[in-house]
Structure 1
Amino acid sequence: MENLAARLSWRMEHEPLHPLISQKIHWQPDLSFRPFNYTAAPIIENMGSTAGTSSVVKPSPPAFVGAPMEKSSKASLIKELVALGLLKAVAAPFERVKLLLQNQKDIIKSGRLHKPYNGILHCFATTIRNEGIFSLWRGYTAMTMVHVSATVIRFGIFQYTKNLDDTQWSYTRVVVSSYVASAATQFLVYPFLYAATRMATDVKTIGSNTGDRQFNGMIDVFRKTLKSDGIVGLYRGFNITLGELVMMGALSKGLNPWKQHYSYILRNNFLSRHMVDFGFWISGNMATYPLDTVSRRMMMTSGSGTVKYKSTVHAIGQITKTEGVKTFYNGAGAEILACAANRATLLLMIYVADVIRDAKEKQY
């Protein structure tokens, strides 16, 4: 571990000549499993300390769409999508456990789960015992499509905005446009997020009349939801995610000075800097987690859901009244583990990429 830290620290000292892969790729928007909360944040972070309400940015900064710094070619996009799929595969089991814990009350009311889980380990053990180990990746395809589609859309927006060199981008215009782009992206891929949630929470119990799954795949989720609820069913909980987006943008703006301060202090310590960054990331995630819980619980009411919420306010009131405030943080521990697994895999990929690059450089 010391050798790894020393090596990464050495790489940081030689950044001008040998930029790390982590500097080339803006991974942040894809770390969270709520992928649209942070699209607007990077632009505010990049402009916050130097830009006023009347400042001008020309051209539109790359962070406008959360795009990688090197996204000028389709090859770099393909590489990111492949890496993104790997990162999501590593964290997918934690993601499913998080969704099961987060929505277990509604799963119990639907009759597909007899008693609540006692924690993360019990949820893992119960799921593997009843459904098999590969069931931990149930919903992975739909969830990956959410992130891949969002990345492709951001890439398209980036390709468009980088050609607008003659456009005067004021601070207000950039921020508003960033949020609009984020909301539009979320609207386009939200049905996949819905399908991933319904598939991940589709529990198969053994030894009961509910042994068969409710959904046989992503297409089946769309078909049954459209048949019972129409297109509205695919967007249940969408409005609360927009509030989540705005809340995370505000938190990012407030926490950014502290993040920049500690990042500067630890600029020569690669691992420590990533740990601080991860800490700020989790802080924002946990602050908005209750909104994510409400959104997911709203999704569970579509189709044959036994619990029906009239609105977001009604859902919040009912959950608070019948289950308590603590329920809003069910599964939060699993999400932290998912993000940690994602971050660890990312650092490993960075290290391997640098080792391979050094080996190629020595050949010449």
Structure 2
Amino acid sequence: MSGQKQTPVKRIPNGVKFLFGGAAGMGATFFVQPLDLVKNRMQLSGMGGEAREHKTSFHAVRSILKNEGIFGIYSGLSAGLLRQATYTTTRLGIYTILFDMVSGDGKPPNFFTKAAIGMTAGAIGAFVGTPAEISLIRMTADGRMPAESRRNYKNVFDALIRITKEEGVVTLWRGCIPTVARAMVVNAAQLASYSQAKQFLLSTSYFQDNILCHFGASMISGLVTTAASMPVDIAKTRIQNMRIVDGKPEYKGALDVLVNVVRKEGFFSLWKGFTPYYARLGPHTVLTFIFLEQMNKIYAIYVLQDKRASGGL
């Protein structure tokens, strides 16, 4: 009947979406921080023309355990958690808001729209998260340095305070451009490929909207994202860890890093650390999206009283 009022669609409040995004990323970080450490060490190995410290990821793990102990594998955890609290909170919160805005009549947007909103969310999140990112890079790199050259940050807040005091507040955003570029690539690939992979899996007769489907979509998304983002990531990592020698930075910019890596270490060195990167990004993607989907679903069912709710990505 035309006089009937349509029941308004209940949506998760934007503040809750931001909270869930950050909580999901921080939960995943507890599991994958050691892999992030190994990835960073692999990418810094060979920096400045020095001999490569680690030929394989397994060699890197063995070296860390031998030289820094069992707790050394969790170096930089506080920075990793703050990075998720800033970067992931912002990017996933903005992505889910934009996703809802462009979803007409309950239909998901097409792949290119997903990629565009993923890039937007990633760029904003990366800018917010760069100070924590640079702290994470330095804290995970410290154990590979000679004792006299180590920065020895006590935790991420000590790192942020000392960087500001010793090098100026602008240094907290050093490497911001490649960080934002990487985040745009990662989020365009990760968020769009996750949504697309999930949509594809649900179109088959083998999957339902459950944890198994979220796991499969996350692993596909992680592989696509790793291949697409590693060259930008290695540029970001080296710029954020570089030192200023006699007033001159080691690298002029991201392009200079890429040119130097290809010339001195070979083209495929742009994907150096692929195994720990995917081993980190795959599970992190899986855990983040599983946590996020489940939190969205639980909130919708128990707070919004929507018994038919799904995860919403």
TM-score (norm 2): 0.68
1:310 matched to 2:252? The reply is yes
Q: Once the two structures are superposed, what CA deviation does each residue of 1:67-106 show, in whole Å capped at 9, x if it has no partner?
A: xx97438778666655543321111111101111111223
Counterpart residue number, 2:86: 149
1:128 matched to 2:69? The reply is no
For 2:283 and 2:96, the matched residues in 1 are separated by 31
Tell me by how many angstroms 1:159 deviates.
11
1:94 matched to 2:32? The reply is no
Q: Once the two structures are superposed, what CA deviation does each residue of 1:168-187 show, in whole Å capped at 9, x if it has no partner?
A: xx999998776445423321
Among 242, 248, 264, the residue aligned to 1:322 = 264
Counterpart residue number, 2:13: 72
Among 179, 195, 201, the residue aligned to 1:241 = 179
2:33 touches 2:77 (CA, 8 Å); kept in 1?
yes
Distance change in 2, residues 1:223/1:302 (3 Å): farther
1:229 touches 1:302 (CA, 8 Å); kept in 2?
no
Letter of the 2:39 partner, please give it: K
Q: Any unmatched runs of 5+ in structure 1?
A: 1-68, 165-169, 354-364
Task: Say which SS state the counterpart of residue 144 (structure 1) adopts.
Answer: helix
Tell me by how many angstroms 1:192 deviates.
0.7
Q: Any unmatched runs of 5+ in structure 2?
A: 1-9, 102-108, 296-313
Moved more, 176-185 or 325-334: 176-185
Letter of the 1:105 partner, please give it: G
Counterpart residue number, 2:219: 278
1:127 touches 1:135 (CA, 8 Å); kept in 2?
yes
1:139 touches 1:199 (CA, 8 Å); kept in 2?
yes
RCO (CA 8 Å, sep 6+): is it higher in 1 or 2?
1
Q: Once the two structures are superposed, what CA deviation does each residue of 1:218-256 show, in whole Å capped at 9, x if it has no partner?
A: 344335544565344332322123333444566566897
Aligned residues: 274
Distance change in 2, residues 1:307/1:334 (3 Å): farther
2:189 touches 2:221 (CA, 8 Å); kept in 1?
no
The percentage of counterpart residues that share the same residue type is 17
Task: Say which SS state the counterpart of residue 117 (structure 1) adopts.
Answer: coil
Task: Say which SS state the counterpart of residue 142 (structure 2) adopts.
Answer: coil
Greater helix percent: which structure? Answer: 2
1:260 matched to 2:202? The reply is no
Q: Once the two structures are superposed, what CA deviation does each residue of 1:238-281 show, in whole Å capped at 9, x if it has no partner?
A: 21233334445665668976663344213248536632541233
Moved more, 138-147 or 99-108: 99-108
For 1:227 and 1:121, the matched residues in 2 are separated by 37
Letter of the 1:150 partner, please give it: Y
1:334 matched to 2:271? The reply is no
Q: Residues 1-364 of structure 1 correspond to what in structure 2 (within 5 A)?
A: 71-72=12-13, 81-106=22-47, 109=50, 116-153=53-90, 179-203=119-143, 210=147, 213-217=150-154, 218-226=156-164, 229-248=167-186, 251=189, 260-265=199-204, 266-268=206-208, 271=212, 274-302=215-243, 308-342=250-284
1:87 touches 1:345 (CA, 8 Å); kept in 2?
yes
Counterpart residue number, 1:8: none
2:251 touches 2:257 (CA, 8 Å); kept in 1?
yes
For 1:219 and 1:131, the matched residues in 2 are separated by 22
Tell me by how many angstroms 1:342 deviates.
3.6
The CA RMSD over aligned residues, in Å, is: 4.5
For 2:194 and 2:39, the matched residues in 1 are separated by 26
Q: Once the two structures are superposed, what CA deviation does each residue of 1:313-363 show, in whole Å capped at 9, x if it has no partner?
A: 22221121111112211111012222344467579979x99xxxxxxxxxx
For 2:49 and 2:115, the matched residues in 1 are separated by 42
For 2:277 and 2:38, the matched residues in 1 are separated by 9
1:202 touches 1:215 (CA, 8 Å); kept in 2?
yes
For 1:156 and 1:235, the matched residues in 2 are separated by 22
For 1:174 and 1:347, the matched residues in 2 are separated by 16
Task: Say which SS state the counterpart of residue 189 (structure 1) adopts.
Answer: helix
Distance change in 2, residues 1:287/1:173 (3 Å): closer
Task: Say which SS state the counterpart of residue 201 (structure 1) adopts.
Answer: helix
For 1:222 and 1:78, the matched residues in 2 are separated by 23
